[in-house]
Amino acid sequence: MIRPLVAMLAFAGTLLAVAPAAAHIDVLPREVVAEEPVEFTVRVPTEREVATTGVSVDFPDEVTVFSFKDPPPGWSVEPVRSDDGRIVGVEYRGGRIGVERFEDFSFLGTPFETGTTVWPSRQLYADGQVKPWTGPPEDPDAVPVETGPTDPGPAASVEVVAPGDEGSSAAVSSSGDDSSGAAIWLGVIAIVIAALAALGVGLLWSSRPARLPEDSE
């Protein structure tokens, strides 16, 4: 009777292993069309047990950013400009992203070159440590690899395609599609945990010795 429980636990562990790991700083949508203005969203999750207090992003040369959305309450936005006045990045300061929370920061930009654009960023934590997301971008289908609190992690990337070459409407639609996949995984894991609990209760009752009625005198 123990073997089915072991098998179920192994299956649950497999699901947890293949479920998406904690997301890094990301730029959404992940696919855009060249020469078309688009709202980019920088999604910043707090992955440590310390709040996030600052975020800076470097814009790729292939994208012209020209307008910023008001940041969430408590945050300030400061465009970073080159010597010729071109906007080359942005800094968000003053707010807090708590443990196991995330925040979105948005702006408008126009990509003008096809290919992969890379968006290096840095994440400031309340303890003063800075996490640089400046490494090579990850493959979209790869399982995210966790690195140390100050070791470089993968930079976000966005694919710019020519007009008419869009991969799918989901790829260039709202960024909420990314969170729906995580919600599905959480639902599956919850179902597995509930099934394990029910199985455990069943095994407990089935393993209890039956009590025979006492003989009548």
What share of the chain in percent tops pLDDT 90? 59
User: Could you tell me the CA-to-CA distances from 170 to 30, 31, 145 in Å, in that order?
Assistant: 10, 9, 25
Those residues of the chain that have pLDDT short of 50 are 1-2, 4-7, 9-22, 168-185, 188, 192, 201, 203-205, 210, 212, 217
pLDDT of residue 85: 94
Give the span between the Cα atoms of 121 and 45, in whole angstroms. Answer: 13
pLDDT of residue 76: 98
Query: What are the structural domains, with CATH classification, of the chain?
Result: 23-171 (2.60.40.2230)
pTM of the shown model: 0.68
Q: How many CB atoms lie within 10 A of CB 47?
A: 22
Give the span between the Cα atoms of 145 and 99, in whole angstroms. Answer: 19
pLDDT of residue 165: 83
